[in-house]
Amino acid sequence: MPALRFHLPTAVTTSRGGLRRAVELVPARCRSVMVVTGAASAERAGYIASLVAGLDAAGKRATVFRGVEENPAIETVDRGVAHARACGADALIGLGGGSALDAAKAIAVCAAVAMPARTVLAMKPAPRGCIWFLAIPTTAGTGSEVTPYALLTDTAVPDKVNLSTPDSLPAAALLDAELTVNMPARLTCATGVDALSHAVEGMLSLRSQPLTDALAIEAVRLAGRALPRALAAPADLDAREQMLVASCLAGMVIAHTGTTACHALSYYLTLHHGVHHGHACGMLLGAVVDWARPHLPGKVRLIEEALGSPVPAFMTRCGLPGLASCNLGEAELDAMAASAAPRSNVQSTAGTPSARDLGAIARAACAAQPQPLP
Ligand code: FE
């Protein structure tokens, strides 16, 4: 049996109903709370107003840092840090999708160590410290509430960079299914497929271990049943909660295994074609599983059993378009493989694909036709 190395300090709570629990989770010693959000939808649905009112009633000073964009830029983090320092924040609450949570996480680290994000990104070893941080996801997919990763965009390149330190795991995570029922179907699908990718990739990672496999297979099983239900009946709170739990379990998995070639390849589609992160992963996942099949036949069988079908058939069932819809030419497929090849998550993919293999995986994903359910 491989050695176990498992550490998860985040206190995870499920709760339904209007963010009341969020205020109770903030430690008494924290007096000034900065809420970080990006989602205009969070604002529209009244979540932010309700959270601020709750914090006020509890005697906390509450401020809001709004406008974290999708795929947040490094500069956005620095603006958030300036805001946090100006209001003397000693606690942060991130409320939103993966982008808002990742930005909030990076702000919590950079504000604590009083350094610009670029400095923290370049430091080895990473600086220690983080402001107390509660993550409240309003989508079910990234698992950011239980990972140390903050995926930021370096707009100068452009490229995805990962700000992650030994202290960047959130102190607490609140999973409230009611916050996710307003997601449009497209976002429910994209984020749900992202969660599924995390679980599957975690199982196919050379860094997997029995504890992460146990969490991953349960995440695949939950997502396999709950995602089609949440798409068919958006107000189904049980399905929504199961997707939040699936996403959280899958986040715990990648907090330990990292992602694999599927995520490495996907970044090109997001950076150069504006494809949503989850959709980009979903377009590639079937081909990555096929690549892993000869290396890990038993695990691939377990994944397909838990999901209830092969991966491409599940994507079709969820209405996800194939990679062919991006109309990538030969040169672009090569560029996609070349951009993925140096990434560390390729090294931890079972079978360790070369740049040439990555090109073959991308071509296989392009060639795959939508598959009917068995
Ligand atoms: Fe992801």
Cβ atoms of residues 319 and 231 within 8 Å? yes
Instruction: Write out the two tokens for 170.
Output: 């959130």
How many angstroms is it from 3 CA to the middle of ligand 1? 26
Between CA 164 and CA 169 the distance in angstroms is 8
How many angstroms is it from 43 CA to the middle of ligand 1? 24
pLDDT at 159: 85
Taking the CB of residue 117, how many other CB atoms lie within 10 A of it?
26
How many angstroms is it from 67 CA to the middle of ligand 1? 21
In the predicted model, residues of the chain with pLDDT beneath 70 are 18, 39, 41-42, 369-374
How many angstroms is it from 224 CA to the middle of ligand 1? 17
How many angstroms is it from 340 CA to the middle of ligand 1? 15
Nearest in space to 253 (alpha carbons), one of 191, 195, 202: 202
How many angstroms is it from 196 CA to the middle of ligand 1? 9
How many angstroms is it from 254 CA to the middle of ligand 1? 9
Nearest in space to 168 (alpha carbons), one of 277, 75, 255: 255
What is the gyration radius of the CA atoms in the chain, in angstroms? 20
Cβ atoms of residues 1 and 214 within 8 Å? no
How many angstroms is it from 197 CA to the middle of ligand 1? 7
What are the residues whose beta carbons fall under 8 Å from the beta carbon of 222, sequence distance 6 or more?
A: 242, 243, 245, 246, 249
pLDDT at 374: 45
Phi-psi label, residue 141: left if phi above 0, alpha if psi -120 to 50, beta otherwise: alpha
Q: What are the residue ranges of CATH 1.20.1090.10 in the chain?
A: 184-367
- What CATH number should be reported for the domain whose range is 184-367? 1.20.1090.10
pLDDT at 67: 82
Q: What are the residue ranges of CATH 3.40.50.1970 in the chain?
A: 11-179
How many angstroms is it from 187 CA to the middle of ligand 1? 13
pLDDT at 3: 81
- What CATH number should be reported for the domain whose range is 11-179? 3.40.50.1970
How many angstroms is it from 91 CA to the middle of ligand 1? 26
How many angstroms is it from 53 CA to the middle of ligand 1? 32
Instruction: Write out the two tokens for 11.
Output: 């206190």
Cβ atoms of residues 187 and 279 within 8 Å? no
pLDDT at 368: 82
